[in-house]
Structure 1
Amino acid sequence: MDADSSRALLSRAIARVANRDQDALKYVYRHTSAKLLGVALRILNDREEAEDVLQDVYLTVWNKADRFDPEKASPITWLVSLARNRAIDRLRSRGTRVMTGVEEAESLPDAAPLAPARIEADEDRQRLDGCLDQLDPKHSGAVRRAFFEGLTYDALAQAVGVPLGTMKSWIRRSLISLRACLEA
């Protein structure tokens, strides 16, 4: 699908959101959330706050979709502006100075996967979850927190109350077991 037809579909979906069409909002979310999260993350440098901003953006879209004018801006430009402004507001409430311009945010690639890739990713995730479930619960929890939540080995070791070397061994052995399980 070319950029013009993608833009037209997104514009029509936003128009349908103005009429309280939940499926249209889902469509807008599916096709823009990765990019908008990237915008918020780049500005805030905090995933939790960026996700909060993303939620605020889609609430705004739900409540103010009727204010979108495709003659004034493309749908992605309008959405990026909403995300950027919400993220800047969040920074200002923290007293942090804004360093990123909208030009940089608009150049972020849209990383939203296509349907076949999403299905494959879901299958991979189910396989990975099955393999993680085969590990010792402490080790599985450590791997999940390290790789899905981004905790450092040191933070994990402190949280669990084990020496750093022990945590590193748990993670290393768990990754070896996961590789074997996933390759089987």
Structure 2
Amino acid sequence: MVDSAQLERLLARTALRDREAFRHLYEACAPQLLGVALRLLRRRDLAEDVLQDAFTSVWHRADSYRPGASQPMTWLTSVVRNRALDVLRAESLRRAESLDAGDEEDDAPGSGALRDDRPNPLGLLEQAADALHLRRCLDDIDGPQRQCLALAYYHGLSHSELAEHLGSPIGSVKVWLRRGIDRMRRCMEHLA
């Protein structure tokens, strides 16, 4: 994994249309960013398309990255995440439109009702409550356990990537993750 300073340099050179720097940026970050897209979209073909769109955007907007505002990987992750959310919204709209169009054809022989996979209001309320519980539990965890959980969950870092990113032994990272997960589980059980 490339460190933040190297990523900042690659982004700065990409902003100057340096193709070699852009290639290195892609090689360094694409696997991790593909993981982010896959977690959101749950389809490899869509995730690969989002990754390509995101890097096209990075090529055109690398000059908008501000080192003081965020870490380079955080900025890149947000570009991918926003593209993935756009795809999810478009897919949701497409499904809604096809359901509306299907309503007009429900009287046709052999047409079956389409199932609506969107959560009902109660489901949305439960999801919001779960998110609030998770946030409370995460707020109770501090130090390396919280950092490991956040990097593993939000950025998809593996044990070895976490160890490299944090500059810590892999054994320590595994312990921090395990303890952090245990604390989250106990907290969630207590709140449930």
Interval of TM-score (by shorter of Structure 1 and Structure 2):
0.5 to 0.7
Stretches of structure 2 lacking an aligned partner (at least 5 in a row): 94-117, 119-126, 132-149, 162-192
Distance 1:111 1:29 in 2: 21
Distance 2:74 2:68 in 1: 12
Q: How many residues align?
A: 107
Q: For residue 106 of structure 1, what is the amino acid of its counterpart?
A: Y
1:70 corresponds to: 67
Alpha-carbon spacing, 1:73–1:14, altered in 2? closer, same or farther (3 Å): same
Contact persistence 1:40–1:87 (CA under 8 A): yes
SS across alignment from 1:72: coil
SS across alignment from 1:95: helix
TM-score (norm: length of structure 2): 0.50
Offset of 1:107 from its aligned partner? 3.6
Stretches of structure 1 lacking an aligned partner (at least 5 in a row): 114-184
2:4 corresponds to: 7
Offset of 1:19 from its aligned partner? 0.4
2:145 corresponds to: none
TM-score (norm: length of structure 1): 0.53
Any idea what the Cα deviations from partners look like across 1:84-124, whole Å, max 9, x if unmatched?
Answer: 01001000000087x89xx57534116999xxxxxxxxxxx
Q: Give runs of aligned pairs for residues 64-143 of structure 1, distance below 5 A.
A: 64-95=61-92, 106-109=154-157
Please tell me the root mean square deviation across aligned C-alpha atoms, in Å: 2.8
Which one of 20, 35, 44 corresponds to residue 38 of structure 1? Answer: 35
1:61 corresponds to: 58
Which one of 22, 25, 30 corresponds to residue 25 of structure 1? Answer: 22
Contact persistence 1:39–1:80 (CA under 8 A): yes
Any idea what the Cα deviations from partners look like across 1:139-177, whole Å, max 9, x if unmatched?
Answer: xxxxxxxxxxxxxxxxxxxxxxxxxxxxxxxxxxxxxxx
Alpha-carbon spacing, 1:110–1:24, altered in 2? closer, same or farther (3 Å): farther
Distance 2:155 2:57 in 1: 23
Q: For residue 108 of structure 1, what is the amino acid of its counterpart?
A: G
Contact persistence 1:40–1:50 (CA under 8 A): yes
Alpha-carbon spacing, 1:111–1:59, altered in 2? closer, same or farther (3 Å): farther
Distance 1:112 1:68 in 2: 27
Runs of 4+ aligned residues of structure 1 deviating over 4 Å after TM superposition are: 110-113
